[in-house]
Structure formats: C-alpha cells, structure tokens
Amino acid sequence: MTEFSRRKFIITAGASAVGSVFLKGCLGNPPDSVTGTQTQQVAAVNISPEQAPETTRVKLGYVPIVESAPLIIAKEKGFFAKHGMTEVELSKQASWGAARDNVEIGAAGGGIDGGQWQMPMPHLISEGIITKGNAKIPMYLLAQLNTHGNGIAVASKWEGKGINLKLAQGEQIVSQLKSSGNLFKAAHTFPRVNQDFWIRYWLGAGGINPDGDINLMPVPSAQTVANMKTGTMDAFSTGDPWPYRIVKDKIGYMAALTAEIWKNHPEEYLAIRADWVDKNPKATKALLKGVMEAQQWLDNFDNREEAAKILAGRNYFNLPVEILTEPFQGKYEMGDGRTINDRSMAALYWKDEKGSVSYPYKSHDLWFFTESVRWGFLPPDTLTKAKAIIDKVNREDLWREAAKELGVAAADIPTSTSRGVETFFDGVKFDPENPAAYLKSLKIKKA
C-alpha cells in the first residue's frame, strides 16, 4: 500500500462501515492517481452481503457541462461511497473524441471504463462504427443523466433578423447567403450525436437543409465562441454553461433552448463497457443507485445553489458559479430581450413532466437511430436492425433492479420501455411503433 492510499484508507474506514469493502479494493488494485482520490463525505451504510460490490473502483469520463452533474454530485455528496463505490475516479475528457478513444482503451490501459455520452455513441462504439479500425467495443447503456440544458446560440449580428426558434425570415437570409456564395456557418462539438441532431432538427423545421443550405461542422466549443466573436461563425449548438457565457459576453443570443424544440427530450446517458459491467454487476448497480440518489438530490431546487458551487469548482468546470446558478433555476436571459423563467425548462435529472428522466427508454434510443437514418448517417436498413442493437446495448433491466434495491417508489419506475408518442415544436410526431411514418412526415431529410 502506498503512503497515499494508506492515508485514504484510514480516512475512509474511519468514516464509514464500508471499510471491509474498501479494503478489498485497496489491496487488490494499484493506487489511484491523485486527481481521483478526493473521496469525501462517506456516509455510514450497511450494505447487505448480496449487494456488496465486486470492486470499489471505476474510472468514468465526463465532459464539463451540466449533463455530468449526477456523476459529480454522486461522488462529492457521497452517494457512490454510500453504496460501496468508494473509489470512483471522474476523469475530465478533453473532447467527445477523446472520451471515445479512452473507453476503447479501457481503464486498465490508462483510459476509462465508461461515463457520460451523447447519443447514440454507446451504440456506435458497440457496433464499431466510430472506433479506430472499427473495433467493436460492447457497451451497456445504464441510465439517462439529464434532459434539457442545451440550445442554439446565434451570433449577435443576426439579432432581430428572424433567426429565432421559428425561422420566420431565417430561411430567406440563409438562401441569400447561399446564392452569394457565403454560406451561413454553424457548429456542433461532435458529428452525428445530440448537438448535431438538435441544430439539424431546428434548421429542418425552419425549411433549411443542413446539408447544402448552410455549412455545418464540428468545432471545439472554445474555438466556436472565438469565431462567433470575430464574426466567422454564425451559430452554435451547445449546452450549459456556454449559452450563458455567450449572452453575458455579448457574443450572441439564444435562438432556442432544446426544451423549446422538444420538451423533456432525451439528452446524455451513463454507459459503461460491457466487459466491466458483466464482471461487476453489483458494482454497476451500486453506481446506478449513487447516480439515482444524485439525480433526486439535484431535482430538489433548494440544492441547486450548492450543486452549482460544486460543479463550478476548480476540480470540475472551473468557472464562475453565477454562470450556472440562474440556468439551474430555469432562468435564461436569451440575449435578444427574451427571458425564460420556468423550472420545467431547466436541466432536469430525475423526473420531468413526462415521468422518469433517469430511466433509459428504448423508444428514445430508437429516435436517435431514426434521426441517424434521416440524415444519412446510418443506412436505411438500420431501422430493421435497430431493435436488436438496442436490446443488446440498453440495460434497463439493471436500472430496474437498482431502483428496486434503492427502494424507489413503484410509481417512479416506468412500466413500459416506450415513453410513447413524442411531439416536437413544429407539431411533428414520432411514434416509436412506426418510425418510418415519422421519416415520411419530415420535409427535409437525406433518407
């Protein structure tokens, strides 16, 4: 045992009843890196032998946006430790591409076991569609982390010109730019996942084809904001805390929140490598229980000031706390004079108006597959293969078991894997029983 892990062992064992569980991890594994060892507030808990995790350690990647809050809160408020996961290392990922590469390597090789993902990254990694050399790295989707918290930012020069949630004159502007050879430029952070889908949906609903009418490309967030400042980027599909910064720094305005485009939409998820989960099913459920408790804690709005402080801290987002405080209460200054003050539009973690946020509905996985077909990211026959892929990757069964062990009320455990028909801001409906009808109803698409 190194001096460092010995010290940690004494602290942890002294503060909790999970010492014996911890000891196993401590003796059986090499010591943590310094960044991952701030185990705090380990609450005393009696873990029954049949629920005791096989390991106390896991390395989860996160990206410093509000989607990662359940992971950070579960660690910092002791919810992971309470269920025996005393050595959860949260590893900040430089980009979504880095997260993908790190999960391909795995924690044993210096990467990560899993973590926070845009959709459908876990499925695409499992199928070897976005991995190096198309290696199939089976992953399990375990819980949704959040809904909302994302939006479309537009550069200040377009303010008052009709580039809003409903693209009234936006279509005209875009076609003028197109004929002048100076295409409207928009960015997201990673192709073929959520933020790409949100801006595409918004553009398509406004009569603009994202493939041809504009120039849409992946650009790192900081670079996009710099480009918006200098006028070389027109729009940005992004998540909190960026929208607040863009407005406060007078770089642009928020044309739309994703909560306006699709209220209670699926957003980012917790997924872990299948080999890790198969080896550590009890530890997986312990992690899920920690995440669920963190999600419940986060949805108590009285806790959100504290949550903002923890997330904004130097170890995590490293930014001024006020950037998170107001959006966390559902208060958005949109930058064009519009304000939103509605808690049902804030980032939500445990429940929303449609029911469970945390539950990984297979009907949502199917929407991401359908949208991938819409834009030609995946071939049309994907729709017939989607169910088999989703059944392999989506582990709603583990979510249910963890929820029961945690004592979640039956009313908060969905009885169906489908959330039913979804309705978008332009009136379009997605019926998971008939994704082809949804594709047919859309005017702008590649498929």
Task: Return d(Cα 66, Cα 61) in angstroms, integer.
Answer: 14
CB of 116 to Ca ion, least distance (A): 9
CB of 403 to Ca ion, least distance (A): 24
Q: Which is nearer to Ca ion, 221 or 227 (CB)?
A: 221
Q: 304-312 and 69-76 helices cross at what angle (nearest 10)?
A: 90
Task: Return d(Cα 96, Cα 94) in angstroms, integer.
Answer: 7
Pair 388, 347: CB distance under 8 Å: no
Q: Which is nearer to Ca ion, 150 or 358 (CB)?
A: 150
Beta-carbon contacts of 133 under 8 Å, excluding residues fewer than 6 positions away, are none
Q: Which is nearer to Ca ion, 195 or 370 (CB)?
A: 195
Which stretches within 321-412 are classed as H helix?
A: 322-328, 362-374, 382-393, 396-406
Query: Which among 235, 263, 254, 233 is positioned nearest to 326, based on CA atoms?
Result: 254
Residue nearest to Ca ion (CB): 239
Q: Which is nearer to Ca ion, 32 or 67 (CB)?
A: 67
The single-letter code of the amino acid at 158 is W
CB of 132 to Ca ion, least distance (A): 24
Q: Which is nearer to Ca ion, 213 or 240 (CB)?
A: 240
Site residues (vs Ca ion, CB under 5 A): 150, 194, 239
Q: Which is nearer to Ca ion, 144 or 150 (CB)?
A: 150
CB of 308 to Ca ion, least distance (A): 18
CB of 240 to Ca ion, least distance (A): 9
Which residues in 8-38 are b (16+ Cβ under 10 Å) and which e? Answer: bbeebbebbebbebbebbbeeeebbeeebbe
Task: Return d(Cα 410, Cα 384) in angstroms, integer.
Answer: 33
CB of 332 to Ca ion, least distance (A): 16
For tokens 């332009």, the residue is 426
